[in-house]
Structure 1
Amino acid sequence: MDPNQGSPADAFLVYCDFTGQAKTCLTPLQPQVPVKAWLKDSGVSTTYHWISTKDEGFQFEYPGADVVQLRFLRLSSRVSSQTVTYSCGPGSRQGTTEREVKFLADTRTQSYLGVLRGCEPSEELDSGTRESVFLFESEDLQLLPLRDLAVLGNNELTHEFGFTIGPVCFS
């Protein structure tokens, strides 16, 4: 697709979803934040820890969707949406302890604040929920796609967790 209708050299790959309201969707370059103990070596202070600043961490990129192309895609859209799935590692489930999480907006000056239930060890195979899904939907098209996420915690958190970043869709 080439939203700015200039040179085809800056076109980028999208997929179109016509199952309901028509959507143009961009998939992140690396949609999987691997399941691991992200906060294990994060120090003693309770603070937000951005995934991009951790070992093997990264910001979310959308191949070919530069500032100009996103601007033109937004001009022809009314709403944007994106999902993020939080997953506990093997042998664990979501517990009762709540933990705050921030999702960095595309503006990089704003973020969404959410709450997830931390993971805890579990011996039982089918002992409860292992995933939570966050849905972001906005008419402020400048907020999506998401670029990073941060979990509130400290080095007492040794459980393993990960995230799956869904495509950002414009309609």
Structure 2
Amino acid sequence: MTDEGETCIYPDQYSASMPNIPWKRKGTVQKWFSEFEKGSKITYEGVGMAQMAFLRLSSEQGYQNFTYSCLNAVAWYDTSSHTYDMGIRLLGSSGQEFSYKGLRPEVRADECKARQGKSKTVFEIRTRQIDQLPLTDFLPIDYGESNQAFGFSVGPACFK
């Protein structure tokens, strides 16, 4: 724990980030990133189940950031359609989804909304339902065209 009584757990190095890659879409079915051919879940193997259970019992709230990097793709709001239909969904460890139509994450910056060039959108989950963190997966919607790519970076899940 830090001096402020905050403890953070970090995602495993191999699942914490990915550079922009032009992912191919196979069909019209929406898939979680872990279901992609070379995708994976966001994992936290450095934290044991007992340690995670204790951390949840001794904490009142938690937060975590997720940064989605995009190339000609929408991450949250779409300025061309004036909708959130292309907004990604984030999956918490309890199976809870964070999306525009459900529990909404805070959007710290939404630079992907114009669908032009390389940008990023920063999401933050703040919750008192501790079992919702850490984040374990995400579902991208706007990808697969020849000029599109996406990547991501997952911050630590912090509890206090």
Q: So what's the TM-score if we normalise by structure 1?
A: 0.70
Q: Which amino acid aligns with 1:139?
A: R
Written as runs of structure 1 = structure 2, the 5 A alignment for 1:51-66 is 51-66=33-48
Q: Aligned residue for 1:24?
A: 7
Residue 113 of structure 1 corresponds to which residue in structure 2? 99
Match of 1:42 among 26, 29, 36: 26
Distance in 2, Cα, partners of 1:120 & 1:24? 36
Q: Name the counterpart of 2:148.
A: 159
Instruction: Tell me: CA distance 1:141–1:119, structure 2 relative to 1, closer, same or farther (3 Å).
Output: same
| Residue in structure 1 matched with residue 158 of structure 2 by the alignment | 169
Q: Sequence identity of aligned pairs in percent?
A: 30
Provide closer, same or farther for how the CA distance between residues 154 and 26 of structure 1 changes in structure 2, counting only shifts above 3 A: closer
- The 1:102–1:118 alpha-carbon spacing in structure 2 relative to 1, beyond 3 Å, is same
- One-letter code aligned to 1:160: A
Tell me the C-alpha RMSD between the 2 structures.
2.7
Q: Distance in 2 between matches of 1:72 and 1:159?
A: 42
Shift of 1:87: 0.9
Superposed displacement of residue 17, structure 1: 4.5
Q: Which runs of 5+ in 2 are unaligned?
A: 101-106
1-side partners of 2:68 and 2:154: how far apart?
9
Task: Mark the structure with the bigger radius of gyration.
Answer: 1
Rate the CA distance shift 1:93–1:41 in 2: closer, same or farther, 3 A.
closer
Do 1:48 and 1:153's aligned partners in 2 also have CA atoms closer than 8 Å? no
Q: Which residue of 1 aligns with 2:87?
A: 100
Deviation string, structure 1 residues 106-143 (Cα, Å, up to 9, x no partner)? 013x2111486457454xxxxxx711110001000000
How many pairs does the alignment contain?
142
Q: Deviations over 1:2-51 (max 9, x none)?
A: xxxxxxxxxxxxxx544xx431111100210331123x2321x2x43211
TM-score by length of 2: 0.75
Deviation at 1:68, TM superposition (A): 2.2
Structure with the higher fraction of residues in strand conformation = 1
